[in-house]
Amino acid sequence: MLNWPDYRKELLGRIGEISKLSPDTVGGYQTLTKANSKNGHLDAKTRELISLAVAVTTRCDGCITVHTAEALKHGASHEEIAEALGVAVAMNAGAALVYSARVMDAVSAYESAARPA
């Protein structure tokens, strides 16, 4: 697997390069990130646990390394991280089930369209 701390350092360096080339893009991302923390309804640890679950569902290694470090910094335990990841697994399975229902609906629609009137 990856050396996650080294990857995070390299990734943040590359994002710094992008920021120099396209400051509004990175600035816009930072604005979105900061906006959620201003509400105060969720603590930082909870936001990071949610971020880890989303990182898994979107398959984002960069998100994994950044939000793992942040979750640990905010006191997330291995058990809390594992529970958040369990939610991600369930959501992916749930999404597959929902989209399976869509496939069956498409099958029915094609079969109906193929029947003579």
The per-residue pLDDT for range 18-76, each reduced to its tens digit, is 999 999 999 999 999 888 888 889 999 999 999 999 999 999 999 999 999 999 999 99
Whole-number pLDDT of residue 69: 97
> Distance (Å, rounded) from C-alpha 66 to C-alpha 89?
20
Distances (CA, A) of 85 to 1, 2, 25, 63: 18, 18, 29, 13
* Whether pLDDT at 117 is above 80: no
> Distance (Å, rounded) from C-alpha 41 to C-alpha 36?
9
The end-to-end CA distance of the chain, in Å, is: 58
Banded model confidence at residue 110, pLDDT cuts 50, 70, 90 = very high
Q: Which fold has domain 4-114?
A: AhpD-like (1.20.1290)
Whole-number pLDDT of residue 36: 80
Whole-number pLDDT of residue 16: 96
How many other C-beta atoms can be found within 10 angstroms of the C-beta atom of residue 71?
23
Whole-number pLDDT of residue 8: 95
User: Rg of the Cα trace of the chain?
Assistant: 20
